[in-house]
Amino acid sequence: MSLLRRLPRPRTLRARLTVGLVVLLAISCAAVGLAAVFELNGFLTSRLDQQVAQTGPRFAASLEHGGPLPDDHDGDERGDDRRQALGTLGARVADGTVTNAAVVRRAGVVNILGSLTDRDKEQLLAVPADGRGHSVELSAVDGYRVLARQGLDGDILLTGLPLEPVQAAVHRLELVAGIVFGAALTLTGVAGALWVRLSLRPLSRVAATATRVSELPLASGEVALPPRAPESDPRSEVGRVAGAFNRMLGHVEDALTKRHASEERLRSFAADASHELRTPVATVRGHAELALLHPGPVPPQITHALERIAAESGRMGAMVDDLLLLARLDAGRPLERLAVDLTRLVLDAVSDARATGPDHRWALELPEEPVTVTGDEHRLHQVLANLLANARAHTPAGTKVTVSLETEGTTAVLTVHDDGPGVPEDIRPGVFERFTRVDRRRSDAPGAGAGLGLSIVAAVVEAHAGSVALESRPGSTTFTVRLSTA
């Protein structure tokens, strides 16, 4: 059983069908071969028993009284004038003892009593005098088919003929059957593999089409699905699979088209709405600041209201700018492609963070040589500013924030690490999605973000053909940005 488990198993459907076909044919051939061998052996043995019965006990009776065998053969191919066939065995048993045993040879009758071993004699003594043939294996003369009859003197006379012709015929049949069946299995295996491959060709085309579909970027954007899989006879299993697969592709294509159209409408709406909001938001903010500059006495309540209007207008203006940036990035607007000193950007961003978050501990780990990448300097600075602002906003005072920069081959690796409480587990999968907030209950609090900072980070980094990842647990949060330096 352990050996069967270690044998390699076919993995493809084509291989399994071919192996199954060959195994079934092998079992059938083995059954036919065994049946033919057993039938031939039984038939030839039965014929041999008939020959032994026809021979009768004459030869054995001539040995009945013991003494030397008469040397009266005439030297012909009959071997003995008692006209027994060559190889005929005769033996006499009296009082539980083998008294005589001889075999007819070409040179005459040969006494083999002295050549019989104790085991040979036991086999001869064990043959019942029932008039039926029994097989014995004598070391002196090999296999024999022996028939025993009761003698006139109360003894038992045994007559036998050699099994060698029967065994030779059976072995020849086994050899021929093995060669024929082996050739048949080989030809069937080759022909079966070709036939199975031809029969499963439509299924292979369906699998190839499915593979091409699985390699398409279906998550976003307009997707052009590959040509449909060729359909075969709808009455066959493969034909039904191909038809169902093509119908499924049609539904998927319709859904993707509708989704893309909806996303385009949403992007267009966000871009248009953000663009239209910029002017009224700026106007409201300007009037609020102008009212605060009025030289006359203003009630404290009015002053506070104007200050809140100015602050919220500024917050809304920043949100509108973020939405416009995301809309431009979604539309694939090209960014600047200039050499940017990433080391200087990190120094400037951390310096600004120290000024806005003096209650945090800021640390830098920079390489000795400047790290330069190709991209949009303003947008990359925005990535750094958003990551540092995120660390400052979501960690308590006294948290240590470490900004590291290093190179790995042709890749610049920027990490922002803090030892704060970490990002909640339910937030991590969608942390780079838009309008994701760590604490939704504080979304309307003064100074609370709109949940666009990290989504802008992801969009800008993706526009630079880079990647951003998050690793977080209580006491350790790390954002890692990778950009190409080539």
Q: Band of the pLDDT at 4, cuts 50, 70, 90?
A: very low
Residue 32 predicted with pLDDT over 50: yes
pLDDT tens per residue across span 437-463: 665 443 444 444 567 788 888 888 888
pLDDT at 365 over 60: yes
Yes or no: say if 360 and 398 are a contact pair by the CB < 8 Å rule. Answer: yes
| Element of type H or E holding 414 | strand 411-418
CATH 3.30.565.10 for domain 338-484: yes
- Where in the chain are all domains bearing CATH 1.10.287? 217-333
pLDDT of 308? 80
Strand partners, 469: 480
The class level of CATH for 217-333 reads mainly alpha
Structure-token pair, residue 145: 């088919």
To the question of domain 56-162 being in CATH 3.30.450, the answer is yes
Average pLDDT estimate for 375-391: 89
Banded pLDDT at 71 (limits 50, 70, 90) = very low
Cα–Cα distance for residue pair 393/357, rounded to 1 Å: 9
pLDDT-derived band at 471, boundaries 50, 70, 90: very high
Q: What are the DSSP calls for 376-409, one per residue? A: -HHHHHHHHHHHHHHHHHTS-TT-EEEEEEEEET
Give CATH 3.30.450 domain extents, the chain: 56-162
475 contact partners, CB below 8 Å, separation of at least 6: 419, 420, 421, 422
Torsion over CA of 431, 435, 438 and 442, rounded to 10 degrees?
Answer: 170
Mean pLDDT of 127-136: 88
Instruction: Measure CA of the first residue to CA of the last residue in the chain; give whole Å.
Output: 58
Nearest one of 225, 282, 274 to 252, comparing CA atoms? 225
Q: What is the pLDDT of residue 399?
A: 92
pLDDT band at 479 (very low <50, low <70, confident <90, very high): very high
Q: What is the mean pLDDT of residues 380-405?
A: 91
Report the length, in residues, of the chain. 486
Q: Of 152 and 467, which is predicted with more confidence? A: 467
Which residue would you say has higher pLDDT here, 72 or 435?
A: 435
Start-end of CATH 3.30.565.10 domains in the chain? 338-484
